[in-house]
Structure 1
């Protein structure tokens, strides 16, 4: 059985045009005539999606209209668990491939439907209907997909089958893409931290720490130019009394695989994760309570009653009962 397969493979390789690469993948492209799905490279090579999310998107795109793609329905059909499927669906929703739309049916019931778009960036392009020729009316579309999180009740298929006879009101909520277009302006990166004063001691300690990172993570091999560029940022951390082991752990922990730009990653971490300066002893002291002036007690010269007053004298009652002549004489 191996000989015919090897012969067919060898014959297919000889029919490929041009010289074959010395290494790497070699594609033998046989055109499909039936049972195929067109998948764009923007999805197949998406750098922001996991392999599970890309594979789940291809599976959803290949399913016929109206197929249930809820979490439980997909978990019953695939080998992945519900948690992994739910995480992949959230990734697709975050990048615009999935969209949830709430629609009220004719019987008053509100359902959440899920729409899969095979090319979400195309929805951002302007559409000019006047310049396009008139097209014949499109046939009634099949019912939309059910919710990916809220499972439909047993009577949901009957409701969807009646949708063409009594069309439900469409949800006209405008689609807001969560992925910015390639032409969107980018915010400038924050500046690299700088110490108040780059002393010779700080410069030597920061340079040594950066040069020693490759002993703890072999991916962090920096050039001399990169070390000179990142030294002030490390000096700013040391100036804020950050222990060198803390800086080393922050720069080497949980590195992405593969790491293509070590200097850019270190610059990002040194800038975003910069700790605040340590507070001084005065900052940690409890705030002093405000002093409240208390009016002292006095003994009335007439009735010897105690009352509050800044100076000795008579109380209020004695002052009111005394005659004007007595008050003047006093």
Structure 2
């Protein structure tokens, strides 16, 4: 195919009238019948735009209305990164080719509206704007028409047999299910005295921490948790200190904070006298020295060892 293109290009160059330039580019201009875009030299040969900005400007101008031309959409289409594309779009904005504005729709959603002007200089001169839906009349090309060479139809390549795609790799999610919330502690027996002490402690929290303002329903719900602390021998001052120290600022949900601390900071029950008593140790029989043979033996009282005692019993 490359050889056929070279032959066709050689024939086209031979039919161009006049001497060919010694150096530089030589144009072989064939009029487009479809799928073409008219680009002004003010953009294609702009002296202050980078080549990336000129290329993106030409690409945007060739797209139909409504096509996505954001940074991510262009980065997915071309090999340039998002940083390079963003800089090129800013160049086009600086020179009047591109304009991006934030607009709120009737449903309240915010969108970015992008407007591309193919001739920003004409806007400043007050030229008429051609509607997007009306295609401009193409300007005839002045360069000589070179007939297209007859190229034999290429032999279609065999259709490759699609390989079986490997199964997708499932990546485990790092976000696991939240553990169930721990239940609020409950006392062994909620006596009337314990209920009054716990409810008074909870209602009094706002005197020590103005942020912890609990409603009557909150106090009613949290009373068993505070009662469990008091039942386990925690002093009211200790309970109050655990619930009001180092609060987040500002505390959005005071009842949830109190519930969480009553649950996770619950102290263990106080040990009884039996648990605090020292462990009973088995008495150890001391060593004694035999009065007959000086052998060491265990006995609660001094005397003779077993062998000596046996000899004395036999003698007796």
TM-score range, shorter chain: 0.3 to 0.5
Larger Rg over CA atoms: 2
TM-score after normalising by structure 2: 0.41
With structure 1 as the length reference, what TM-score do the two structures score? 0.40
